[in-house]
Amino acid sequence: MSRLLFACALLALTAIVARPAAKAAEFTQAQRAEVVEILRDALRKDPSILRDAIEAMRADETRAQAEGARAAIAAVRGELINAADPVLGNPKGDVTVVEFFDVRCGYCRKMHPAMTELLRTDPNVRLVLKDLPILGAASVMGSKALLAAQAQGGYAKLYEVLMAQAAAPTRDSLHADAQRLGLDADRLLREMDSPAIAARIEANLALATKLGVQGTPALVVGDVLIPGAIDLADLQQTVQQARAAGR
């Protein structure tokens, strides 16, 4: 049996299964039995057909997800990057990587060395950080502290400290960290609780929802959404693809 005929039979069987009962009644019992027998016969003769069909369906699903992500990114392009966002790397880089992260996220920490190496070896990458505290009160406290430190030009310094700390941040530990980094620690603690910082975090959460981000880290590079941590080689490849496409 040809693969084309099998594909037709598979589509027919899918239609039978997926249609509501009223529509499924359009197929006679004999027709349904014939389709099932065609499928069984094909699989007996060449079991690889099922594997190929599954792979094709997965590929279609992946393409659909990518197209959906591109549409979502296009719809919120103006919100992805704004003047208030903390930036690492080259602020005028030709490729922008937007990272939604949680300072307490183990996967974010796992990817952190790769991201640092990317910025070190590629001077034309701009990394826009979107604080997305989704792992509880310690995450929220860390994000608030980072955004408060940004007002003093200390976001990057505190970011490195918090990403390396095993213990969850407390107000006392943040005060000590800020002092050690040369920041106004009392001001940082005071501004952490400002409505402006709460609004920025809420905006990041809302943006992540629009993009369908379901966890951290999540990256947006050009018109590609990458859920989860990736290694340095994949980071570099994604950046080069975006650069080549002029995104």
pLDDT in tens, 141-168: 999 999 999 999 999 999 999 999 999 9
Residue pair 99/163 in contact (Cβ under 8 Å)? The answer is no
Domain boundaries, the chain: 3-68, 78-244
DSSP-H helix ranges across 19-47? 21-24, 29-45
Beta strands in the chain, from DSSP E residues, in sequence order: 87-89, 95-101, 125-131, 218-221, 224-227
pLDDT per residue as tens digits for the range 11-36: 555 555 455 554 545 778 888 788 77
Cβ atoms of residues 150 and 159 within 8 Å: no
As a whole number of angstroms, the distance between CA 69 and CA 62 comes to 11
* DSSP state letter for 169: P
Question: Hey, is 100 helix, strand or coil?
Answer: strand
Q: What is the pLDDT of residues 155-214, one digit of tens each?
A: 999 999 999 999 999 999 999 999 999 999 999 999 999 999 999 999 999 999 999 999
What is residue 3's predicted lDDT score, i.e. its pLDDT?
52
Which strands make up the sheet holding 87-89, listed edge to edge? Answer: 87-89, 125-131, 95-101, 218-221, 224-227
Amino acid at 246: G
- Percent of the chain whose pLDDT exceeds 90: 65
Tally helices (H) and strands (E) across the chain: 12, 5
Backbone angles phi, psi at 164, to 5 degrees: -95, -15
Give this prediction's pTM. Answer: 0.74
CATH of domain 78-244: 3.40.30.10
